Amino acid sequence: MMPPNEQESSFPITPGANRGETSPVQENRFSSPNHVIPCLGDDDDGPSHQSRQSSVLRQSLRPIILKFEELTYSIKSQTGKGSYWFGSQEPKPNRLVLNGVSGIVKPGELLAMLGPSGSGKTTLVTALAGRLQGKLTGTVSYNGEPFTSSVKRKTGFVTQDDVLYPHLTVTETLTYTALLRLPKELTRKEKIEQAETVVSDLGLTRCCNSVIGGGLIRGISGGERKRVSIGLEMLVNPSLLLLDEPTSGLDSTTAARIVSTLRSLARGGRTVVTTIHQPSSRLYRMFDKVLVLSEGNPIYSGDSGRVMEYFGSIGFQPGSSFVNPADFVLDLANGITSDTKQYDQVEVNGKLDRLEEQNSVKQSLISSYKKNLYPHLKEEVSRTFPQEQKINGSRAKSLTNRWPTSWWMQFSVLLKRSLKERSHESFSGLRIFMVMSVSLLSGLLWWHSRVSHLQDQVGLLFFFSIFWGFFPLFNAIFTFPQERPMLIKERSSGIYRLSSYYIARTVGDLPMELILPTIFVTITYWMGGLKPSLTTFLMTLMIVLYNVLVAQGVGLALGAILMDAKKAATLSSVLMLVFLLAGGYYIQHIPGFIAWLKYISFSHYCYKLLVGVQYTWDEVYECGLGLHCRVMDYEGIKNLRIGNMMWDVLALAIMLLLYRVFAYLALRNL
Ligand SMILES: Nc1ncnc2c1ncn2[C@@H]1O[C@H](COP(=O)(O)OP(=O)(O)OP(=O)(O)O)[C@@H](O)[C@H]1O
């Protein structure tokens, strides 16, 4: 038996009639405590009184009419033959992914894009969200405007893959985003309340304190994760909501709940567009309009309830009267007209005949669309609606505020979020154990080394420079490749400046990056018998920390430029090996033509500085029985050419700045 709610709204004849039956207030099932979507099957988890007052499912204040006309998008096909360097390269033909797709979606409507896998649904919804890279021809307009930053802020886009931080809880995820996305006119308290409202409206109350999870971390379920993703977009009460396969991988009940939420959001005056793979007939009935794609070509665009009537009118009838309309149109989009007929053909004529017939069915459907549906659609798209003119007035005002919050607010929220998300990593027992054990082991190996064993002592100083070059560099290379999806998602929604993110992200790593070397140097310096002077110890510590910051910058730059942790790790291994060899400890007489390598090695400058502060100019050591030599005349130290140490400090300062600028510029090009 179908629930009464769904019976009432099944198979609308026209979108207008469909909306006429149910006003936004009636449709908003979630404004009633009995209708909140439960979390993990919790049926009595109703929203609070406060959330009912300020529900995110409330009416949208700035409705948007979305129009798209003759959208065409092609990509270069990969032929796989030849390569740039070897053999001749065949010219790559362009492959059409979208071919003349048009449509109109008005506030209050829920449009579903249907089509077989690879038919171009994701490409189309990404284009409508203003995020498609490459050359798109045709026009997309939002109340007659192109995709401006003000439209961007009124648009919510939920991608197929949920991009969420796995270690944050549901509430934390929504609260941090609320603090970043909601305008500065709202107080902190109001923003937090808005996040709480989303938690309760989307039925996430029960799992609000559970971590999101992902990968190997156990967290909330797939359906809950999808609702969190929708909730993140709902925080700003978007006028236009675009979703890519929000129900994929979910059971039918959860999928129905999500589509039902989308319908409620549409009924609140929003324009909602979603792609969907294979909806059940129950889900199909919730859509107002459908757009069916076949290999990038539209074959139907219009009311969901008129699909069967339309295809019947052009000679395509379903095999049985109880067929799910979605299954029927998906078969047609694949060129399959009727199950029985199709399978007979396979057996009798073989694969080639079957493909030919499918192609001819698809061509016939494309021509029928152009002849019967497109002229009406074109006329509707070119018409100007009263709502469009009304909203244009607010454009100038909304364009003046490019960012929802101040730089400082963005920085402080991003810093807190980064510290929270990465606390498990920064303060991981394994990292602390590693540093402690290496420091104790080196302390024991160099136990109370004496100046007379000069080779050993400078070896310890060189070890400081190399170990604290490798370790921070390797930790830093993963930073941006790991963060890439989140950064792209949040930056394309115009939530924050790159500078506030960049500084927050690098500052967030500093406490642990600096605490660990401090512990290490403290233990190893005194155990290793280096100069027992507090000043020399503190200067040694400062130099090591300085080196850590430079190495971190190199790691960040490599990660940001390559955006691939594996490649960056390989490159940094080569780089560190070069720095190790050219650092001035192992090879004292590097051939002139390659001696420049040491000047680009930050470990070389660090090593020079460490030796420079450890020994004074007139310091002597026992270089033979009863013989005393000047430390500075020791072959390994003499070749370092220790002079004015300010030059070494300056060289490191330039590297510190330069590598971080490189990393920033690489992120700008993401
Ligand atoms: N950047 C790209 N590089 C190569 N091929 C692409 C690219 N973008 C899209 N395509 C191709 O374009 C076609 C349409 O892709 P799209 O992801 O839009 O399809 P879809 O209908 O969403 O598929 P699915 O339902 O499986 O997600 C596919 O054949 C895909 O391989």
Residues 340-375: pLDDT tens digits?
A: 455 555 555 556 567 777 888 889 999 999 999 999
Give the C-alpha distances (Å, rounded to integers) separating 193 from 54, 170, 281, 362, 654: 9, 14, 37, 51, 46
Beta carbons within 10 angstroms of residue 324's beta carbon: 16
- 117 CB under 6 A from ligand 1? yes
pLDDT score at 340: 45
Q: Give domain 9-78+88-305's CATH number out of 3.50.50.60, 3.40.1350.10, 3.40.50.300, 3.40.50.720.
A: 3.40.50.300
Q: How confident is the model at residue 154 (pLDDT cuts 50, 70, 90)?
A: confident
303 pLDDT more than 60: yes
Q: What is the DSSP pairing of strand 297-303 with strand 110-114?
A: unpaired
Residue 140: is its pLDDT beyond 80?
A: yes
Residues 441-447 have a mean pLDDT of 93
Which residue, judged by its Cα, is nearest atom 30 of ligand 1? 118
Residue owning the nearest CA to atom 25 of ligand 1: 117
Written as six digits, the tokens of 636 are 């390994």
Distance 120 CA to ligand 1 centre (A): 6
Residue 22 in this model has a pLDDT that exceeds 90: no
For the chain, what is the mean pLDDT?
82
For 322, residues 6+ apart whose C-beta sits below 8 A from its C-beta are none
Tokens of 40: 């993990």
pLDDT reported for residue 79: 53
pLDDT score of 510 = 85
Beta bridge partners of 101: 71
Buried b (16+ CB within 10 A) or exposed e, 554-583: bbbbbbbbbbebeebbeebeebbebbbebb
Predicted local distance difference test score (pLDDT) of residue 574: 92
Contact between 11 and 305 under an 8 Å Cβ cutoff? The reply is yes
Cβ(274)–Cβ(246) under 8 Å?
Answer: yes
- Neighbouring C-alpha atoms within 13 Å toward the C-beta of 271: 22
The pLDDT of 298-312, averaged and rounded, is: 92
Q: Which of 143-152, 346-355, 585-594 has the lowest mean pLDDT?
A: 346-355
Give CA–CA dist 172/164, Å, rounded.
11
Q: How far apart are CA 317 and CA 311, in angstroms?
A: 7
Residue 166, pLDDT score? 92
Q: Is 133 in contact with 109 (CB distance < 8 Å)?
A: no
Reported as a pLDDT band with limits 50, 70 and 90, residue 453 is confident
442 lines ligand 1 (CB under 6 A): no
Q: What is the DSSP letter of 208?
A: T
| ∠ Cα 137 143 145 (to 5°) | 50
Q: How far is the CA of 644 from the centre of ligand 1 (A)?
A: 60
What span, in angstroms and rounded, lies between the C-alpha atoms of 591 and 604? 16
Tokens of 487: 């950064």
The bridge status of strand 271-275 relative to strand 240-243 is: parallel
| Sequence-separated (6 or more) residues with CB below 8 Å from residue 317 | 311, 338
Q: What is the pLDDT of residue 547?
A: 95
pLDDT at 86: 47
- Quick check: 494 pLDDT over 70? yes
Q: What would the pLDDT profile of 621-668 be if each residue is shown by its tens digit?
A: 888 777 888 888 887 788 778 878 899 999 999 999 999 999 999 999
Gyration radius (Cα) of the chain, Å: 32
Is residue 116 predicted with pLDDT exceeding 60?
yes
Within 10 A of 71 (CB to CB), how many other CB atoms are there?
24
Q: Given ligand 1 and candidates 92, 95, 96, 97, which is best to mutate, with the most ligand atoms within 8 Å of its CB?
A: 97
Question: Could you state, in order of their start, the residue ranges of all structural domains in the chain?
Answer: 9-78+88-305, 407-668
Q: Which of 94, 117, 122, 160 to mutate to test the pocket of ligand 1 (most atoms within 8 A of CB)?
A: 122
Round to whole Å and give the CA distance between 70 and 265. Answer: 28
Q: Which span out of 13-22, 133-142, 262-271, 291-300 was modeled with the highest average pLDDT?
A: 291-300
Q: Which residues, including other chains, have CB under 8 Å from residue 120's CB and lie 6 or more apart? A: 73, 97, 98, 101, 293, 295, 296
Report the pLDDT value the prediction gives residue 25, as an integer from 0 to 100.
31
Q: What is the whole-number distance in angstroms between the Cα of residue 122 and the centre of ligand 1? A: 7
How many Cβ atoms are within 10 Å of 301's Cβ, its own excluded? 22
Residues 6 or more apart from 40 whose CB is under 8 A from it? 206, 207, 221, 224
CA 157 from centre of chain: 12
Give the distance (Å) from ligand 1 centre to CA of residue 113: 14
Instruction: Please list the alpha-helical segments (H only) found in 405-533.
Output: 407-426, 429-445, 454-477, 479-492, 498-527
Ligand 1 atom having least distance to the Cα of 119: 21
In 3-state terms the chain splits into helix, strand, coil percentages (rounded to 5) of 55, 10, 30
119 neighbors 271 (Cβ within 8 angstroms)? no
